[in-house]
Amino acid sequence: MNLEVVILAAGQGTRMKSRISKVLHCLSGKPLLACVIESALTFHQAIVHVIVGHGGEQVQKQLADYKVNWITQEKQLGTGHAVAQALPALKEDSDVLILYGDVPLTPVETLKTLLTKSGDDSIGLLTVRLENPFGYGRIIRDAAGVVQAIVEEKDASPEQREIREVNTGILAVPAKWLQKWLPELSANNTQGEFYLTDIISMAVADGVVVETVTAKQEEEVRGVNSRQQLAELERWHQKQLANQLMASGITLADPDRIDIRGNLRVGQDTCIDINAIFEGNVTVGENVSIGPNVLIKNSVIADHVVIHANSIIEGSEISKHCQVGPFARIRPGTHLSDQAKIGNFVETKKAVIGTGSKVNHLSYVGDALIGSGVNIGAGTITCNYDGANKHLTQIKDGVFVGSNTALVAPITVGKNATIGAGSTVSQNIEENVLVVTRGQKRILKDWERPKKRTSNYTETD
């Protein structure tokens, strides 16, 4: 049987009070709709259709990398009408899984179970039991417990409103039944809309069994309609991720103060202090210490690394036994070799720092290749940008750079050279020499500023 997934994402989301489409608001750093699409795409052979309406162009543009079939619902006339927009694209012999673009956390395993309920004479319905079911459609069963219908809150009797089992809207249905039932839907209800839920009573009338799967937790099927609901779901989701980390052998100073906005892998016996944020794809090794208020994005951190408070690491690789921070900024393209140290108020960018080398404080090292055993004194900068182009600084093994030194690239400093404090160096330095440049001020007239050219170092700060 072929599988097709229909994701409803056409709602206006007026309660979000936003110019951005509701389904583009982010949970764990990812648009709500992207979370649902990625779940659907785990069914590798599935064809995924996304129904968009309000702000549809904006949605398609932001999520253009996903291989889905975009379908526009010109008028928002209810969930049944929305699914009907996909009918021309559905194959008659397929099973259809109906999801919602603002319900981001339904486990794939639950969806797999639901799909087993869809057959020639049955459909699958995902339900959940709530302490407070206000606003949800109630599941109506007969004396034998067989589902007979779904009644919406506004159409329910007082007795029906006491029912705690409610509809999530998530269904697994053979396409042949959708093709029969959807054209028969009526908007004769208090909302004047075509309810998808009405197909449940149609199924019963046609002798099709409605088999249910019950979600384990309410949050797994909770939709987002306001910023408050989004914040509540975010905190619940982050708490689940924190619990998973701790169960795998990670120490969290406070499980309520960690944010994972992407994919995070962490080795055993790593300790993470409060307010750590992980974005994109991050791998952290074993026995790592991460201090408070640290941001790590799209980076790899090896074993036995210490990252002190208030440091930012992005697009970089930190090797074993390194130290970073506090208040360090490690920018994209940085690679710290084993036992390297980046201290407080140091910024690096596109820099390779060799084994055991140190940039301890108040320095900028960019577009640089630093050898092993190098000491960079406080206040040192690599002057990599001439106003138009970037240039490379190479510092060989064993070099000592005194404080407040400016290295004007392109430049190479030979092995074991020593540069005295306060120097400005603009020429290559030989091995095993001492260089001190504290000359008198010079003014060059008729000097022409460099013009932009194409090279390996053309990006701006």
Residues with active-site annotation: 361
Contact predicate 42/51, CB 8 Å: no
In angstroms, the Cα distances linking 70 to 38, 64, 76, 97 are 15, 10, 16, 16
With b for 16 or more beta-carbon neighbours within 10 A and e for fewer, the 18-45 pattern comes to eeebbbbbebbbebbbbbbbebbeebee
If one counts every other C-beta atom within 10 angstroms of the C-beta of residue 201, the result is 17
Diameter of the chain by CA atoms? 99
Question: Which residues touch 272 (CB under 8 Å, ≥6 apart)?
Answer: 245, 250, 251, 252, 253, 258, 266, 290
Pick from 152, 33, 49, 178: which is nearest to 100 by CA?
33
- At 88 the three-state DSSP class reads helix
Distance CA 277, CA 283 (A): 13
* Burial label, 415 (beta-carbon count in 10 A; 0-12, 13-18, 19+): middle
* 429 token code pair: 């330095």
Residue at token pair 């108020």: 345
Q: Which amino acid is at 7?
A: I
User: Which tokens belong to 159?
Assistant: 């007795």
* Residue 343 CB contacts under 8 Å (≥ 6 apart), including other chains: 323, 325, 328, 358, 359, 360, 361
Closest CA to 236 of 252, 218, 249: 218
CB 32 within 8 A of CB 101: yes
Q: Tokens for 222?
A: 């909770």
Query: CA 128 to CA 216: how far, in whole Å?
Result: 8
Alpha-carbon distance of 253 to 309, in angstroms, equals 13
Rounded to 10 degrees, the C-alpha dihedral 68/69/75/78 comes to -60
Tokens, residue 457: 């170092």
